[in-house]
Amino acid sequence: MTIQTASHTETWPSLPLEAWSKTYATLHLWTQIVGKIRLVQSPWINHSWHVTLYVTARGITTTPIPYGTRTFQIDFDFIAHQLTIQSSDGGTGGFPLQPQSVAAFYTRLMEEMDRLQLHASIRVKPSEVVDPLPFDQDETHCAYDLEYATRFWQIMVQADRVFKQFRARFIGKCSPVHFFWGAPDLAVTRFSGRPAPLHPGGIPGLPDWVTREAYSHEVSSCGFWPGGGPIPYPAFYSYAYPEPVGFAEASVKPAAAFYSNDFREFILPYEAVRQTVSPDDTLLAFLQMTYEAAARLGKWDRASLERDNDPIYSA
């Protein structure tokens, strides 16, 4: 049965962190389990692009994952609130998304995978999480609020759409718009084409060699994050690595945007976007101005990296 939720009446719904923090924590770990399955079954792609998930018209997906001569994919459906597995040999599986512990989710998913002859062994310790519990032992995180899970996905639908418009302005190396389940965040990253200095690493639950490969080249990156710690609300962000001199003092819009010394990136509260007359224009202005600050101060070769406003690309 398809479950319709109230959040579908708002294009940019509210998402107060305190209202869904328990669901957020549980869903974060569920996406890590699915993401780690993609990780172990996929060829390595630079900057860990082989581990990410993607926004769909109903939720988020792994996209097709190789398994011998077959492929399979795993999808979170935040309209019907189902986890689904589909295999190229016609096999299907899954179960409802409902309140259940991380350990129960892990067990059910692995049982469904085994039933479909899709055996996968993952590292059961969560990534980028402080004091992590192994997935198969985590009975603590067990919340799932259908309404807020749908709101989170609906915001990512809008962010994905605007990020893709922003991405199209760049002809240099650029990532897809993809969901990193470590933070978790939806992100898109532009590259100058030049090598970057060795990253210091130090991200909890993430080997330094992974971080250093991810930041092997200069980047200007932006994304959407549900919030946490010093930023206790959902927000858009933009940063540069390496950060050029003067970046933190750059002038950006809208007025609600600010530079966070805690995260060393510009932050734009999600509420400041959703409450404007044109959220698309507000968000695009933030993305463009923070990128321009990074590229200008970092002396990127912008003439060779940016696309002119050619009518063929704006049809």
Whether residue 168 sits in one domain with residue 126: no
pLDDT digits (tens, 9 = 90+) for 70-97: 999 999 999 999 999 999 999 999 999 9
Tell me whether residue 74 is in a domain: yes
Kindly tell me if the per-residue pLDDT of 308 is higher than 80. Answer: no
Tell me whether residue 230 is in a domain: yes
Kindly tell me if the per-residue pLDDT of 6 is higher than 70. Answer: no
Look-up of token digits 């990532």:
175
For the chain, percent of residues with pLDDT exceeding 90? 92
Q: What is the pLDDT of residue 271?
A: 98
Average pLDDT score over residue span 1-21: 74
Domain end call among 99, 119, 145? 145
What pTM was computed for the model?
Answer: 0.94
Whether residue 202 sits in one domain with residue 141: no
Domain end call among 145, 175, 193? 145
Whether residue 96 sits in one domain with residue 194: no
Q: Check if the beta carbon of residue 99 is closer than 8 Å to that of residue 25.
A: no
Tell me whether residue 165 is in a domain: yes
Whether residue 153 sits in one domain with residue 289: yes
Q: What is the pLDDT of residue 307?
A: 87
Kindly tell me if the per-residue pLDDT of 4 is higher than 60. Answer: no
Output the DSSP codes for 233-300. S-EEEEEEESPPTTGGG---SSTT-EEETTTTEEEEEHHHHHTSS-HHHHHHHHHHHHHHHHHHHTT-
CA–CA distance from 162 to each of 253, 279, 280 (Å)? 16, 9, 6
**Residues spanned by the domain of 79:** 17-145
pLDDT confidence tier of residue 178, bands split at 50, 70 and 90: very high
Domain end call among 110, 145, 180? 145
Tell me whether residue 156 is in a domain: yes
pLDDT digits (tens, 9 = 90+) for 179-220: 999 999 999 999 999 999 999 999 988 999 999 999 999 999
pLDDT confidence tier of residue 9, bands split at 50, 70 and 90: low
Q: Check if the beta carbon of residue 10 is closer than 8 Å to that of residue 157.
A: no
Q: What is the pLDDT of residue 204?
A: 87
pLDDT digits (tens, 9 = 90+) for 114-169: 999 999 999 999 999 989 999 999 999 999 999 999 999 999 999 999 999 999 99
Whether residue 139 sits in one domain with residue 155: no
Kindly tell me if the per-residue pLDDT of 3 is higher than 70. Answer: no
Whether residue 229 sits in one domain with residue 161: yes
Tell me whether residue 3 is in a domain: no
Whether residue 170 sits in one domain with residue 107: no
Tell me whether residue 312 is in a domain: no
Pairing of strands 59-61, 54-55: antiparallel
Q: Check if the beta carbon of residue 232 is closer than 8 Å to that of residue 17.
A: yes
Tell me whether residue 278 is in a domain: yes
Q: What is the pLDDT of residue 309?
A: 62
Nearest alpha-carbon partner for 124 in 188, 39, 208, 63: 39
pLDDT digits (tens, 9 = 90+) for 18-34: 999 999 999 999 999 99
Whether residue 169 sits in one domain with residue 292: yes
At residue 126, the 3 state secondary structure works out as coil
Whether residue 92 sits in one domain with residue 42: yes
Whether residue 46 sits in one domain with residue 158: no
Based on the structure, what is the number of domains in the chain?
A: 2
For the chain, percent of residues with pLDDT exceeding 70? 95
Kindly tell me if the per-residue pLDDT of 315 is higher than 80. Answer: no
Q: What is the pLDDT of residue 10?
A: 86
Nearest alpha-carbon partner for 290 in 233, 248, 261: 248
Whether residue 103 sits in one domain with residue 63: yes
**What average pLDDT does the structure give for the chain?**
94
Whether residue 231 sits in one domain with residue 252: yes
Q: Check if the beta carbon of residue 125 is closer than 8 Å to that of residue 205.
A: yes
Average pLDDT score over residue span 39-64: 97
Q: Residue 9 class from Cβ within 10 Å (0-12 exposed, 13-18 middle, 19+ buried)?
A: exposed
Q: What is the pLDDT of residue 277?
A: 96
Tell me whether residue 2 is in a domain: no
Name the DSSP letter for residue 110.
H
